[in-house]
Amino acid sequence: MNMSSLPSFQLLAMVGLPMLNLAGHCDPYSNGCTGLSSDIKSCQAKGIKVLLSLGGGAGSYSLSSFEDARQVATYLWNNFLGGHSSSRPLGPAVLDGIDFDIEGGTDQHYDDLARHLSGYSNKGKKVYLSAAPQCPFPDAWIGNALKTSLFDFVWVQFYNNPPCQYTSGDVANLEDAWNIWVSDIPATKIFLGLPASPEAAGSGYIPVPDLTSKILPAIKGSAKYGGVMLWSKYYDDQSGYSTSIKSHV
């Protein structure tokens, strides 16, 4: 199965220490999320990579300097990756990497953050880096970071962006944007990011028959094609989208 189903948690970088948002599933500020450690390890035992996602579409966040990026990388290493801290919010489980879902603020110093995080791979376990840019190229926030050649997976959001997403019967805009991404971004694998149901995004939903008969045949020949990323697990549970496309991905 090539389709990405990598779990991620979201971290919003605020003034001072970053804020962890687990969508109400548990309260990290009362040590209520440390029990997730066994769940994370169970996923990893099955070969599933578990990443922590930075940013998101809400909140106010940015990196102010090279040193700020270094400090954030150190915090992430010690609290979620292979480092050591007395206050690891998710317990002793070691996450596999960091996802950059930057959708606001500025475009500054995310390349520095990527370099600092990647440097921790030299301490043992590889730190995977992924990113979820918007499909207009180059991405307004992490375009520079993506030039570092440090990203393993890039799941491009081909939704909520009419100029480069699929519209009924018209593959051209999406295919043109896809070809730019796979040609110009030095990442290991590029994924087609889609909403898992019409309710999951404002626009860009692709009906299963259109995806399997029109879109995937047009992009699967790319050497960097990695599969399909879906937003989100909740909507996929409602729609069964991943089950419908799995054999075609």
**Residue-wise pLDDT tens for the chain (249 aa)?**
344 445 556 665 444 667 888 878 898 888 899 999 999 999 999 999 999 999 998 888 999 999 999 999 999 999 999 999 998 999 999 999 999 999 999 999 999 999 999 999 988 899 999 999 999 999 999 999 999 999 999 999 999 999 999 999 899 999 999 999 999 999 999 999 999 999 999 999 999 999 999 999 999 999 999 999 999 999 999 999 999 999 999
pLDDT for the residue numbered 28? 87
**CATH code for the domain of 111:** 3.20.20.80
Residue 185 lies in a domain: yes
pLDDT for the residue numbered 14? 44
Rounded-to-integer distance, Cα 32 and Cα 127, Å = 25
Look at the chain and report how many structural domains it folds into: 1
Cβ 102 vs Cβ 138: under 8 Å: no
Residue 1 lies in a domain: no
Rounded-to-integer distance, Cα 154 and Cα 37, Å = 26
pLDDT for the residue numbered 60? 84
- Helix (H) or strand (E) holding 244, with range, is helix 241-245
Residue 167 lies in a domain: yes
pLDDT for the residue numbered 190? 98
Cβ 118 vs Cβ 126: under 8 Å: no
129 bridge partner residues: 98
* The token pair that represents 52 in the structure block: 């922590």
Residue 156's identity, in one-letter code, is: V
pLDDT for the residue numbered 22? 83
pLDDT for the residue numbered 7? 58
Rounded-to-integer distance, Cα 3 and Cα 174, Å = 18
Residue 3 lies in a domain: no
Coil, strand or helix at 39:
helix
Residue ranges making up the domain that contains 71: 8-248
Q: What is the reported pTM?
A: 0.92
Residue tagged active-site, from 67, 103, 175, 199: 103
Residue 103 is among the residues annotated as catalytic for this protein: yes
Residue 2 lies in a domain: no
